[in-house]
Structure 1
Amino acid sequence: MIRVLVADDQALVRTGFRMILENTDDMQVVGEAGDGARAAAMALDLRPDVVLMDIRMPGVDGVEATRRICAAGLQTRVMVLTTFDLDEYVYAALRAGASGFLLKDTLAGDLLSAVRVVARGDAVVAPSVTRRLLERHIGTGPAPAPTALDTLTDREREVLSLIARGLSNLEIAARLHLTEGTVKTHVSRVLAKLDLRDRVQAVVHAYESGLIRPGV
């Protein structure tokens, strides 16, 4: 059973998400929070598998709440919800440790699929939107020193750059003439070497380290 905490400052929105989530056999809403401080506190107490986190809330917003939850070292995963696909706060939430984001008008089926993906430890990445977010907020200044990228092999750097461009494991396998299993191994090694949780953080790291330059 996937245990979900819903955080949104609008009671009607929380009720809507609860109805969608609890209309399945594999999900249970274990709590609701109307602000970020409450969401973070409840996550630490209840330890849900997934938190659906509204970004813009009064007081402590979803970004800070995400930061608190991820910094606590829980297995809980955070998926942020936003009204705008280029919301400036989404980028901050991804950097804080969120495992992806969805628009609030996402179809019910897509929401449920995303919760399942995040719950099993993967990430929800909308490549085109995520890339536009990163390009918009990272800027086009000089590339920083590669630092941790030096620990990667040439093949691992290549795989990371393709992840950052939004390719799936299957697409990377086709591009590099590898099996999908081999690509999964490379992805796992990249995440381990760079101490990253998932593909979302890998994408952010690729941009921030200068491996991928905005607009390129």
Structure 2
Amino acid sequence: MSAAGAETTAGERRRILIVDDHPFMRAGLAQLIEKQPGLTVCGEAGNPAAAMTEIEKGRVDLVLSDITMPGRSGLEFIKDLQAIRPELPILVVSMHDELIYAERVLRAGARGYIMKEAGGEALLAAIRQVLTGEVYVSPKMSARILDSLSGRKPRGSQSPIEKLTDREFEVFQLIGQGKSTRDIAKQLHLSSKTVDVHRGHIKEKLELKDTTSLVRHAVRWVETQNLGT
């Protein structure tokens, strides 16, 4: 592969699908990518359902996706896409803390995670790295993952939220967005009883004494993460 890290054959551009619910963000990413040799934007989508439609239309070499979008969660979108197109790499670009999300998206099947604050040059480097078949995380996150694999205590502050499973994490976020048990069950395709079980596990892991404490904690957390969309 060339230094541009992009061509499948001479002169052919690698095709990138941008998935983000903010039109301005999609436009900015598209403008950045289109200026690069060997890269092109083949489509845009504002939610996971629209992204699946775009993927079915034609060749996509990389999905560049946010993690929080309306409808199906970003984690579920990654898992769904991996189930039907395991060869299609996904790079998550998000405003949210990599210490909370990066390992989750990698476990779900994504090939990388980069925070939007990293800037355009870092994003382009991440895109090219993932297109070569490698995994991308920040140096800080890489050191943390290596510490975890080696049995050492991970570097950096640990949040109690990290104790939650992916499903519990999704339920927790939806509680913080003001969703009822019934709404959560419908969105995640679960029974209300299963949601209640998850709520119980979340309370135990976060050491919250009752449902009121859980709701307050979840709402505060969602507000700090700007996940209320």
Q: Displacement, 1:87?
A: 5.6
Q: Displacement, 1:88?
A: 3.1
> Hey, what does 2:52 align to over in structure 1?
40
Q: Displacement, 1:45?
A: 3.6
Q: Displacement, 1:61?
A: 2.0
The structure having more radius of gyration, on CA atoms, is: 2
Whole-Å Cα distance in 2 between the matches of residues 44 and 102 of structure 1? 26
Post-superposition Cα deviations, 1:5-49, rounded to whole Å, max 9, x if no partner, equal 000000000000000000112111000010122223323443411
Aligned counterpart for 1:67 among listed residues 56, 79, 95: 79
> Hey, what does 2:28 align to over in structure 1?
16
Whole-Å Cα distance in 2 between the matches of residues 15 and 35 of structure 1? 15
Q: Secondary structure at the match of 2:42?
A: strand
For the 8 Å contact 2:93–2:116, the answer to whether it is kept is yes
Q: How does 1:1-216 map to 2 (within 5 A)?
A: 1-86=13-98, 88-130=100-142, 132=144, 164-165=146-147, 212-213=150-151, 215=153
For the 8 Å contact 2:21–2:45, the answer to whether it is kept is yes
C-alpha distance 56-214 of structure 1, shift in aligned 2 (>3 A): farther
Q: Secondary structure at the match of 1:51?
A: strand
Whole-Å Cα distance in 1 between the matches of residues 139 and 31 of structure 2? 29
For 2:150, give the aligned amino acid: I
Larger RCO (CA under 8 A, 6+ residues apart): 1
For 2:151, give the aligned amino acid: R
Identity rate, percent? 32
Post-superposition Cα deviations, 1:146-201, rounded to whole Å, max 9, x if no partner, equal xxxxxxxxxxxxxxxxxx35xxxxxxxxxxxxxxxxxxxxxxxxxxxxxxxxxxxx
Q: Secondary structure at the match of 1:105?
A: helix
Whole-Å Cα distance in 2 between the matches of residues 89 and 40 of structure 1? 22
Q: Which runs of 5+ in 2 are unaligned?
A: 1-12, 155-229
C-alpha distance 63-214 of structure 1, shift in aligned 2 (>3 A): farther
Q: Aligned pairs, how many?
A: 142
